[in-house]
Amino acid sequence: MKHFEQSQLLQGLPKQFFASLVAKVGKVVAEGHDVINLGQGNPDQPTPDHIVEALKVAAEKPAYHKYSPFRGQQFLKEAIVTFYKREYGVDLDAEKEVAILFGGKAGLVEIPQCLMNPGDIALVPDPGYPDYWSGVELARGVMEYMPLLAENEFLPDYSQIDKSVLEQAKVMFLNYPNNPTGATASKEFFEETIELANKHEICVVHDFAYGAIGFEGKRPVSFLEADGAKDVGIEIYTFSKTYNMAGWRIGFAVGNQSVIEALNLLQDHMYVSIFSAVQEAAAVALLESQQCVDELVSLYESRRSTLIDGLKEIGWDVTAPKGSFFAWLPVPKGYTSESFADYLLEKAHVVVAPGVGFGEYGEGYVRVGLLTDHDRLKEAVERIKALQLF
């Protein structure tokens, strides 16, 4: 059989770091061990019943069995407008400031292709979500990393970015609540970001995937709540985390009109929108009772307490995340993030994600997901305690 070589574009894509982790975990599971997987980012709760029921009913509508409108159903765009006004006090134009996405990841990967030319610079958080890298590579762009350091509460320090880089940058990715660190951002930080973006004509892309998940009664701030945000950027929201709809592949972008139009134009050429029954269920998720969201956040907060309190009790000096469903934990002395993750897998059969997989400045940490029940979290703590590392 003839082998057709992949294009240079595909060959240039970042290597999938976590594929090797999956392979390691699979080997241990195949050996018959009981593995507690805290390394993944896949929500473990089902989609709320009323959203599933809405999909069932909508799926029977013959009109939805045809192609959907290219740029999404108007009723979903209107629901997004209502949602942003209700939750964040932000006014949006359903026609010009909303784009329906095939999940938040799709929008994040598409944005560089919409706004960057080969050689253009994107400012990317380090550590950060690896698919930012994929989008920049597909656009043949260049990444400049913004270190997220504990001493700065895992916010980028704009004063440390070289002025020549700022002058050349076209796009900046931000993500709060943050994956992987669990940090949150203030309205003041976003105002500082907008000032910088205006000065240097940078498009800000705020990944608000964990927008619903804040702890101790503090709800995460939307980038669009800051004055002038729509002048310089967009926010990308997904249903995956807020409503446990990860497998449904639906999200949206809101904000700057020119960026929204660019996203829509690219998607016009790539897709014919999303199954309208999914769009109707998504609208139901946004418009109907948000009790399911409140209950989900409470669940994650109680799991956070179980994990963090347990780890502190065994002597691990850890800090509780302020948002997201991840904890960012420093590795013990004498280990790298990867060697420590390997050690926990081999000796305790507990899976964590090595911080270096999220970037150079992720070294020295592991990411742990709050995505399993209390008993399993307690068991993971006990297994780690037995290693007598702390």
pLDDT tens digit at each of 390 positions of the chain: 999 999 999 999 988 777 778 888 889 889 999 999 999 888 999 999 999 999 999 999 999 999 999 999 999 999 999 999 999 999 999 999 999 999 999 999 999 999 999 999 999 999 999 999 999 999 999 999 999 999 999 999 999 999 999 999 999 999 999 999 999 999 999 999 999 999 999 999 999 999 999 999 999 999 999 999 999 999 999 999 999 999 999 999 999 999 999 999 999 999 988 999 999 999 999 999 999 999 999 999 999 999 999 999 999 999 999 999 999 999 999 999 999 999 999 999 999 999 999 999 999 999 999 999 999 999 999 999 999 998
Amino acid at 75: F
Q: 217 in helix, strand or coil?
A: coil
pLDDT of residue 244: 97
What pLDDT, on a 0 to 100 scale, did the predictor assign at position 15? 83
Q: Which stretches within 234-343 are classed as H helix? A: 239-242, 257-270, 276-287, 291-313, 337-343
Q: Are 55 and 281 in contact (CB under 8 A)?
A: yes
Tell me if 296 sits within 8 A of 323, measured CB to CB. Answer: no
Q: Which residues contact 228 (CB under 8 A, 6 or more apart)?
A: 191, 194, 198
Res 16: pLDDT: 78
pTM for the model: 0.96
Backbone angles phi, psi at 329, to 5 degrees: -115, 130
**Domains in the chain with CATH codes:** 8-46+292-386 (3.90.1150.10), 49-287 (3.40.640.10)
197-226 burial: b if 16+ Cβ within 10 Å, else e = beebebbbbbbbbbbbbbbeeeebbbbbbb
Q: Are 83 and 286 in contact (CB under 8 A)?
A: yes
Distance CA 285, CA 48 (A): 9
Q: What is the pLDDT of residue 151?
A: 96
Q: Residue 77's pLDDT is what? A: 98
Question: How far is Cα 326 from Cα 39, in angstroms, rounded to an integer?
Answer: 9
pLDDT of residue 181: 98
Residue 7: partners with Cβ closer than 8 Å, 6 or more residues away? none
